Amino acid sequence: MTLTFYKYQGTGNDFVIIDNRESILSKNNTKLFARLCDRKFGIGADGLMLLELPQNNEDDFTMVYFNADGNESSMCGNGGRCLVAFAAFLGVIRNRATFTAIDGKHHAEIKNGLVYLQMQDVLEIEKYDDHLFLDTGSPHHVTMVDGLSEYDVENVGRRIRNGAPYFEAGSNVNFVEKRNGSSFAVRTYERGVEDETLSCGTGVTAVALSMHATKLTDKEAVSVQTQGGELKVTFKKTENGYEDIFLIGPAEQVFKGEFSW
């Protein structure tokens, strides 16, 4: 069988995307998804997404996301932004979108070449002596470090991801350094990829909220520099937590191809 695929990237976070509105692919084909994401024996990507038909009359489409290991995973922020750009490319939407992902409903808009993706509200941030933990659609461990550019993200990140209290379920791990004002830099170890990625959208969102929660910035618009480029997060702080959260950045089609199996 031969199927058309598209490759997208959002600040270096790259994805294989397939138009699955005709249910050509089974969501149980995890071995195939892992092979397609393999950088040596497949196309190569941090994850794979299926754009599927909406599940209700309010949505434009459904997002189904798989990690590079082939397993269906929690929300991917950069993936969501790329899927919105893909939906616009297909003509499914124009410049506004409503879709459902594994963590619920999302709204998005394309403006001036950037994708604005509304994330879920965050009502709880756990604060510890040396880190914070929060769920922005995916679980995130956030810790401040010095010398970020030289930091051993791969080994330290793997140890935290697999250690207490996360163990097998795991957590994404973000290492953060303040640049100035409301600007920060981050490097992220991602579970499912089991390595550092150039960018992580839910991680950038977690960093922005964590920096505000710890009073390292008082701004409700935070810039976060990833290894693959800069993203912006805007939000509103309320007495219940953080609401109206938007992850903002570019999403670009890299190429189109076909694969057979």
DSSP secondary structure letters along 169-235 = T--EEEEEEEEETTEEEEEEEETTTTEEES--HHHHHHHHHHHHHTTS---SEEEEEETTEEEEEEE
How far is 75 from 158, CA to CA, in rounded Å?
20
Residue whose C-alpha is closest to residue 249's, from 7, 12, 74: 12
Q: Is 82 a catalytic residue?
A: no
What value does the mean pLDDT of the chain take? 97
How far, in Å, CA of 106 to CA of 97, rounded? Answer: 8
What pTM, to 2 d.p., does this model score? 0.96
- The sign of the dihedral angle between the CA atoms of 80, 82, 86, 89 is positive
How many C-beta atoms lie closer than 10 Å to residue 260's C-beta? 6
What is the DSSP pairing of strand 2-10 with strand 13-19? Answer: antiparallel
Model pLDDT for residues 81-104, shown as the tens digit of each residue: 999 999 999 999 999 999 999 999
pLDDT tens digits for range 114-172: 999 999 999 999 999 999 999 999 999 999 999 999 999 999 999 999 999 999 999 99
Confidence grade of residue 16 (pLDDT, cut at 50, 70, 90): very high
Mean predicted confidence (pLDDT) in 228-245: 98
Q: What is the mean pLDDT of residues 213-221?
A: 97
pLDDT band at residue 57, thresholds of 50, 70 and 90? very high
Cα torsion 56, 57, 60, 66 to 10°: value is 0
C-alpha 113: how far from its chain's center?
A: 18
pLDDT at 261: 81
CB 236 within 8 A of CB 226: no
Q: How far apart are CA 181 and CA 179, in angstroms?
A: 7
Whether 200 is a known active-site residue: answer: yes
Q: How far apart are CA 6 and CA 148, in angstroms?
A: 33
Determine the average pLDDT of the residues in 5-12: 98
Taking residues 216-234, report their average pLDDT. Answer: 98
Amino acid 106 reads: H
* CA quadruple 70, 196, 223, 123: dihedral sign: positive
Predicted pLDDT at 114: 98
Q: Distance between CA 149 and CA 169 in Å, rounded?
A: 28
- Mean pLDDT value of segment 34-53: 97
Per-residue confidence (pLDDT) for residue 241, from 0 to 100: 97
Task: Answer for the pair 6, 87: CB distance below 8 angstroms, yes or no.
Answer: no
Of 18, 51, 83, 200, catalytic: 200
Is pLDDT of 1 > 90?
Answer: no
